[in-house]
Chain A
């Protein structure tokens, strides 16, 4: 009986964390628009604009579909991103992250992307296909420096579990260790590509390919994609914070610690997100081959330097 109750409490906690994380993502979309507006010297929409947009889109009366494969985009995108968040430690609370590891998270992140790509393909719009092509090439580009940085972390802490990596960083964040400062810088630029912010907003380039993959989406489908976008903001920034900034864990034990850690985590992902927005507002858009060269030439070399350094530290 006790185990059932504690199990249910655990499920409830996980559900609350996932819901709050998604809400934070939607909030961040509004905050992001506000920040960009201020950089542009505009007033900008209110910070709760994301909620308004999503509610409006989801509650629209007329919805069109291009068949069941098109609907997979809706189902896969939300499912995949929520599932990913479940496997990431948030503010030291492990959620399900002890049941999987960093590789699982990397591949879980592919579920919503693949679902989205399937829907875009089924819509039959050539712009969507081009957008997906760009998104996939971007993925191939930024993953190389990112996985090299991640492998460096894994061999240093001798674990692949994100929860373990977070626990090992208690008191000393990875970013404070010299080689990981390089890794973190590299991963931050990879994050820019993951979040599709300029100069890597190539896949959705509205002026070139009519918003690319989203060209045919409307109503609740577009609403679900906005939820997905909100989820990616939280998932990727949390991944970065977990890997390099100790997951925001500053205290141990007790509910007070959880609350404090949660606040620190929130501040950290907010800072990471703001940094990416500030880079976004200061750059024009790369072409796709420039992005590929940037990641595979300069970023990858830096990442390899960090990896060799870490390897040398581990061996000696």
Chain B
């Protein structure tokens, strides 16, 4: 039945290529996107989670030209499949109103679905790599649709680097094992395997945008279409982490790996890079004025937490990393879609030019507000449970460097969250004439918020979903009930938080209803005795250069950053190339000497 899902997707891909009408294409791809979701929901029974029962087969082998591609479902792939494929239908629903005509968005969205499905189901490195490159190609075409040169060049160069590294790593592993099947590759604790794994991990880290390999992300996220960026940031960036987890925890011999790695600094290094990514990207996000770039840096930061979890490698950390990946998929997709809705109505991306959108677009604001609560890990969303698990893991392992860095990055998230809330949605009512976003867009955003609410109340269900992966990776499962998580260090009881909150709300609510209140105009406020409506030139919106005092202190230390590393690397390469160029000095006698030297060397080599 895997074949059927693939076939449906490929037929839909070809079909939507020829449909010009946006709504028809949207509905077709929306229906088609439910197939892989249904398949993944159905496969849950393999891992003790019965959601729906259709009876899909879950293995497939394709023979072509003497090579067999193997496909089957694993617990890890299942978790990522559920996450990615439940992300797609709301995004396609949103696109129903977002685009005016179908100019290639839907077919390549379906192509990306095919590639993701292939990557997740592949059980040998060949099919993994084929679909990996298909995904890279699909993303590139999506970026090309908007034709920003910087974004295209950056993405293409990073993508090629990632592909080459992954291919080299796979080749090395094949050379040592003589097989490409995941099930037969035994990772050994020797130098060659470590080189192969390092190359693979760097290749995956490019897709996952770990610093300093992140510089393709801001230009790409800030120039592509929002529905695609929502899927790229929310979904596809996790595929890099899927690769890492596959390599480090899901393969036979992973125990050997772990024994080798725990004693070395290798994964500790990954955790440190992850925490530093979270820290620096947060600071870059705080000072960003372009809403999309802010969200891009915020994505990089939030993805850094996942690397911390993988690097820490204990079962709590792994649960935290997967939980964080899941949450990030949904809240960041919601935020990108909300940004898209705001731009759809106002046409502006700069935070300093926006303001007061919430008064006219309350539903978009509510979806964005909830996503921001999740982003900032406020305990009234599921965002907190994930971060909490990661903090617990860091304390459990006594990672005294990583824990404070992560906590401070978490506080930094409040800063840029408020920047979005105030700069875009609150403050001066600058757009009194706009309307709420179209209904399908609002519905898409609210569908994306739903999982955050479900796993707020029942974080245990999320842990149920990863139990079979944790036990297959040889890690202890975490003791939990649907609403309580226990670790060796502490508990988190969501029912206590929610019930406590209801009780705590009683006095607040009583005060709220105690006396009548009447609504006043926005201009009815106190600006040192001035009447704002009399002075057109007075800006009532303090969103420009919002964190200036902090920026003045911090920016000198952040200036350049990763870009300066690359430009100095570029200068070194240029110097070497320039030196090499000097060989061609245009003097014919010199060339004659080169030829003679070359012949002498050849002759010497032959004689010797």
Which residues of the other chain, A, contact B519 by a CB distance below 8 angstroms?
A: 64-67
| Nearest-neighbor residue (CB-CB) of B282 within chain A | A140
Q: Is the pair A78, B550 in contact by a Cβ cutoff of 8 Å?
A: no
Partner of B540, one of A66, A103, A126, A158: A126
- A114 interface contact, C-beta 8 A: yes
| Nearest-neighbor residue (CB-CB) of B498 within chain A | A83
Which residues of the other chain, A, contact B539 by a CB distance below 8 angstroms?
A: 126
Which residues of the other chain, B, contact A78 by a CB distance below 8 angstroms?
A: 504-505, 507-508, 511
Which residues of the other chain, B, contact A168 by a CB distance below 8 angstroms?
A: none
Q: Is the pair B400, A307 in contact by a Cβ cutoff of 8 Å?
A: yes
Q: How far is the CA of A35 from the CA of B496 in the complex (A)?
A: 38
Which residues of the other chain, A, contact B358 by a CB distance below 8 angstroms?
A: 69, 122
Which residues of the other chain, A, contact B503 by a CB distance below 8 angstroms?
A: 11, 15, 82, 86
Known A78-B511, A137-B549; contact A124-B427, beta-carbon cutoff 8 A: yes
Q: Is the pair B400, A107 in contact by a Cβ cutoff of 8 Å?
A: no
Q: Is the pair A155, B395 in contact by a Cβ cutoff of 8 Å?
A: yes
- B527 interface contact, C-beta 8 A: yes
Q: How far is the CB of B181 from chain A (nearest CB, A)?
A: 42
Q: Which B residues are closer than 8 A to A by beta carbons?
A: 356, 358-359, 362, 365, 373, 376-380, 384, 387-388, 391-392, 395, 398, 400, 403-404, 407-408, 410-412, 414-415, 417-418, 421-422, 426-429, 484, 489-493, 496-497, 500-501, 503-505, 507-509, 511-512, 514-520, 522, 524-528, 539-543, 546-547, 549-550, 552-553
Jot down 21 A-B pairs with beta carbons below 8 A, ordered by A: A58-B515, A59-B514, A63-B516, A63-B518, A69-B426, A75-B508, A101-B491, A107-B387, A110-B376, A121-B418, A121-B426, A125-B525, A125-B527, A129-B546, A133-B546, A134-B549, A154-B395, A219-B517, A220-B511, A220-B514, A289-B553
Q: Is the pair A136, B418 in contact by a Cβ cutoff of 8 Å?
A: yes
Q: Is the pair A121, B400 in contact by a Cβ cutoff of 8 Å?
A: no
Q: How far is the CA of A223 from the CA of B510 in the complex (A)?
A: 13
Q: How far is the CA of A21 from the CA of B422 in the complex (A)?
A: 33
- A123 interface contact, C-beta 8 A: yes
Which residues of the other chain, B, contact A15 by a CB distance below 8 angstroms?
A: 503
Q: Is the pair B492, A101 in contact by a Cβ cutoff of 8 Å?
A: yes
Known A78-B504, A147-B408; contact A63-B515, beta-carbon cutoff 8 A: yes
The 0/1 profile, CB within 8 Å of B marked 1, for residues 289-300 of chain A is: 100110000000
Q: Is the pair B380, A111 in contact by a Cβ cutoff of 8 Å?
A: yes
Q: How far is the CB of B495 from chain A (nearest CB, A)?
A: 8
Classify chain A's interface size.
Answer: 35 or more
Q: Report which residue of A117, A147, A210, A220 has the largest number of chain B beta carbons within 10 angstroms of its beta carbon.
A: A147
Which residues of the other chain, B, contact A71 by a CB distance below 8 angstroms?
A: 512, 517
Q: Please classify the interface of chain A as helix (H, G, I), strand (E, B), loop, or mixed, using the class held by over half of its residues.
A: helix
Which residues of the other chain, A, contact B540 by a CB distance below 8 angstroms?
A: 124-126
Known A123-B525, A125-B525; contact A100-B497, beta-carbon cutoff 8 A: yes
Which residues of the other chain, A, contact B388 by a CB distance below 8 angstroms?
A: 103-104
Q: How far is the CB of A15 from chain B (nearest CB, A)?
A: 7
Which residues of the other chain, A, contact B543 by a CB distance below 8 angstroms?
A: 129
Q: How far is the CA of A98 from the CA of B412 in the complex (A)?
A: 28
Q: How far is the CA of A96 from the CA of B484 in the complex (A)?
A: 13
Q: How far is the CA of A144 from the CA of B518 in the complex (A)?
A: 42
Q: How far is the CB of A114 from chain B (nearest CB, A)?
A: 7
Q: Is the pair B403, A137 in contact by a Cβ cutoff of 8 Å?
A: no
Which residues of the other chain, B, contact A160 by a CB distance below 8 angstroms?
A: 391-392, 395, 489-490
- A130 interface contact, C-beta 8 A: yes
Which residues of the other chain, B, contact A133 by a CB distance below 8 angstroms?
A: 418, 542, 546-547
